[in-house]
């Protein structure tokens, strides 16, 4: 029987636990160790292992190559490789590779029967994806393995798996000094970073310490000012004033796994904009979202603001998303398509200084605004907005800013009565 050597920190991964989480800085051998453990386990017993990440445009984005190299290096001869999977011909084990954010109600069924889910690059996973995927991994004795380099303290995977881990969890922090095979070339790079980087950045990259703000956060100054000026705290709902609900549709409305986001705002004192509520979720048909998140809240909603893609036909109902919401009796304003995200960001920069955000009811929105950033496209060399767990909350806020600047404020619109809403 082939043997495998692993860093001592990973010993708890040899025991049965529902959740196994490994996080830390660069050079801790997290992916290589987990990949090695899984291919050896699958060579000894039947397993159906799903290797998932938030986004996977092609198999090259996955850990397929890492597993293939490990199998060949360790002399595991019973494996065969197809274009989309890796199979063990002796045990019947199979590895499949998925982009988790794109799993809809139909395709998520392909995860049923999974004995193990490995979430790689967990720092990019959204709350919506976790809510969508975890309940699907329900085979008796199944396990959810997660590996990641921490990004920020508000990242969903950090809060849900490390700060407040679920029952039957094992959480290990693995850094470069826990890796007995840490290469010399990385040690030289680490030493250079230690003397040239600021401490917070070094600790994040090499010691696995999450940052308060994402490096390069677009709205860092605005959010820091908001906190300093006391505009984050208790922002109560005023029942005498109407509420505007601002959607980002993601892909959830068409049955995909990408989440909706809704920001609920009211006019505050003077030009102030009060954000009193926020919701994000996926894998629910839009009519259910409307019933639970619009009608189900104690708000008088005068208008629902929706982006241009709300005019597409919903695959579940045959109606556009706008028609669905209007069918419940709500007034809808659909914003025109914008091809200039920089202009939208500047719109939001003009509105953020006017905003008061409820700290408890808008936790998700605050996390998104604090941590949304740009990334450099390695192929083109151009900077783009990073699409990750922060994207949908920020998009909802961007649409709020576009609406605000179009109308010169939130305005006032008569709400519809409950009879029209219940007529759906």
State the angle between helix axes of 391-407 and 341-351 in degrees (0 to 180), rounded to the nearest 10: 70
Spell out the SS3 assignment of 375-411: EECCCCCCEEECCCCCHHHHHHHHHHHHHHHHHCCCC
Question: Residue 127's pLDDT band (boundaries 50, 70, 90)?
Answer: confident
Pick the CATH number of 220-421 from 3.40.50.2300, 3.30.420.240, 3.30.1300.10, 2.40.30.10: 3.30.420.240
Residues 13, 209, 387, 321, CA torsion sign? positive
* Rounded-to-integer distance, Cα 365 and Cα 355, Å: 12
**How many beta carbons lie within 10 A of that of residue 309, not counting itself?**
18
Token readout for 320 is 């556009």
- Mean pLDDT, residues 228-235 taken together: 95
Specify the pLDDT at position 424: 40
Specify the pLDDT at position 252: 44
* Rounded-to-integer distance, Cα 210 and Cα 157, Å: 11
Specify the pLDDT at position 299: 96
Specify the pLDDT at position 289: 92
Q: Across the strands, what pairs with 48?
A: 94
94-108, 229-243, 323-337, 361-375: segment of lowest average pLDDT: 94-108
* Rounded-to-integer distance, Cα 147 and Cα 30, Å: 7
* Rounded-to-integer distance, Cα 365 and Cα 357, Å: 9
Token readout for 415 is 């709400």
* Rounded-to-integer distance, Cα 392 and Cα 102, Å: 14
Specify the pLDDT at position 267: 95
* Rounded-to-integer distance, Cα 7 and Cα 213, Å: 31
Specify the pLDDT at position 375: 73
Task: Spell out a b/e string for 264-282, using b for 16 or more CB atoms within 10 Å of the CB, else e.
Answer: bbbbbeeeebbbbbbbbbb
Checking if the pLDDT of 212 tops 50, the result is yes
Checking if the pLDDT of 203 tops 80, the result is yes
* Rounded-to-integer distance, Cα 325 and Cα 294, Å: 10
Specify the pLDDT at position 131: 87
Q: Which candidate, 45, 24, 48, 39, places its Cα nearest to that of 117? A: 48
Residues 6 or more apart whose CB falls under 8 angstroms from that of 55 comprise 61, 99, 101, 102, 124, 387
Q: Percent of the chain, pLDDT > 90?
A: 66
Convert the pLDDT of each residue in 267-277 to its tens digit: 999 999 999 99
Residues 6 or more apart whose CB falls under 8 angstroms from that of 292 comprise 284
Pick the CATH number of 8-207 from 3.30.70.890, 1.10.10.60, 3.40.50.200, 3.40.50.300: 3.40.50.300
49-53, 256-260, 270-274: segment of lowest average pLDDT: 256-260
175-184, 214-223, 383-392, 412-421: segment of lowest average pLDDT: 412-421
- Mean pLDDT, residues 90-101 taken together: 94
Specify the pLDDT at position 106: 60
133-142, 175-184, 378-387: segment of lowest average pLDDT: 378-387
Two domains, one topology: 8-207 and 220-421? no
Checking if the pLDDT of 173 tops 90, the result is yes
- Give the residue, 397 or 57, on which the prediction is more confident: 397
Residues 6 or more apart whose CB falls under 8 angstroms from that of 377 comprise 383, 384
Specify the pLDDT at position 420: 40
Checking if the pLDDT of 224 tops 70, the result is yes
CA 105 to chain centre: 18
- Give the residue, 374 or 120, on which the prediction is more confident: 120
Specify the pLDDT at position 312: 85
Q: Which candidate, 152, 199, 205, places its Cα nearest to that of 27? A: 205
CA 140 to chain centre: 27
Q: Which candidate, 25, 78, 77, places its Cα nearest to that of 9? A: 25
Specify the pLDDT at position 51: 96
280-289, 358-367, 381-390: segment of lowest average pLDDT: 381-390
Whole-model pTM over 0.75: no
- Mean pLDDT, residues 122-146 taken together: 92
Task: Tell me which residue has tokens 């198999």.
Answer: 59
Domain boundaries, the chain: 8-207, 220-421
* Rounded-to-integer distance, Cα 266 and Cα 244, Å: 6
Specify the pLDDT at position 390: 85
Question: Residue 8's pLDDT band (boundaries 50, 70, 90)?
Answer: very high
Checking if the pLDDT of 239 tops 70, the result is yes
Token readout for 382 is 């151009």
Specify the pLDDT at position 15: 96
* Rounded-to-integer distance, Cα 337 and Cα 22, Å: 41
């Amino acid at each position: 029987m082939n043997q495998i050597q692993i860093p001592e920190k990973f010993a708890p991964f040899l025991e049965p636990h529902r959740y196994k989480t490994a996080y830390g800085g660069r050079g801790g051998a997290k992916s290589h160790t987990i990949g090695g453990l899984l291919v050896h386990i699958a060579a000894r017993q039947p397993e159906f292992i799903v290797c998932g990440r938030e986004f996977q445009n092609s198999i090259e984005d996955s850990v397929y190559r890492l597993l293939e190299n490990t199998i060949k290096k360790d002399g595991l001869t019973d494996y065969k490789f197809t274009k989309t999977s890796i199979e063990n011909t002796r045990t019947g084990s199979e590895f499949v590779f998925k982009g988790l954010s794109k799993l809809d109600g139909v395709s998520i069924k392909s995860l049923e029967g999974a004995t193990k889910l490995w979430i790689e690059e967990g720092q990019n996973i959204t709350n919506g994806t976790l809510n969508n995927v975890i309940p699907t991994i329900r085979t008796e004795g199944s396990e959810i393995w997660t590996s990641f380099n921490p990004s920020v303290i508000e990242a969903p995977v950090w809060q849900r798996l490390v700060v407040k881990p679920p029952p039957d969890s094992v959480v290990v922090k693995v850094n470069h000094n826990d890796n007995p095979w840490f290469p010399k070339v990385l040690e030289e790079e680490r030493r250079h970073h230690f003397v040239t980087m600021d401490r917070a950045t070094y600790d994040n990259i090499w010691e696995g310490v999450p940052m308060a703000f994402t490096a390069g956060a677009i709205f860092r100054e605005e959010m820091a000012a908001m906190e300093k000026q006391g505009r984050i705290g208790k922002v109560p709902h005023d029942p005498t004033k109407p509420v505007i609900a601002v959607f980002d549709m993601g892909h959830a409305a068409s049955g995909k796994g990408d989440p909706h986001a809704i920001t609920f705002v009211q006019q505050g004192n003077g030009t102030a904009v009060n954000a009193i509520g926020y919701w994000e979720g996926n894998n629910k048909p839009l009519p259910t979202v409307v019933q639970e998140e619009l009608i189900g809240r104690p708000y008088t909603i005068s208008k629902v603001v929706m982006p241009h893609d709300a005019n597409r036909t919903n695959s579940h109902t045959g109606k556009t998303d706008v028609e669905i919401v209007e069918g419940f009796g709500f007034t809808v304003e659909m914003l025109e398509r914008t091809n200039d995200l920089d202009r939208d960001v500047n719109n939001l920069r003009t509105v953020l200084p006017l905003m008061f955000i409820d700290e408890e009811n808008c936790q998700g929105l605050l996390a998104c605004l604090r941590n949304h950033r740009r990334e450099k496209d390695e192929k083109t060399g151009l900077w783009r907005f990073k699409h990750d767990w922060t994207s949908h909350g920020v998009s909802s806020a961007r649409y709020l800013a576009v609406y605000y600047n179009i109308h010169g404020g939130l305005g006032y619109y008569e709400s519809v009565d409950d009879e029209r809403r219940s007529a759906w």
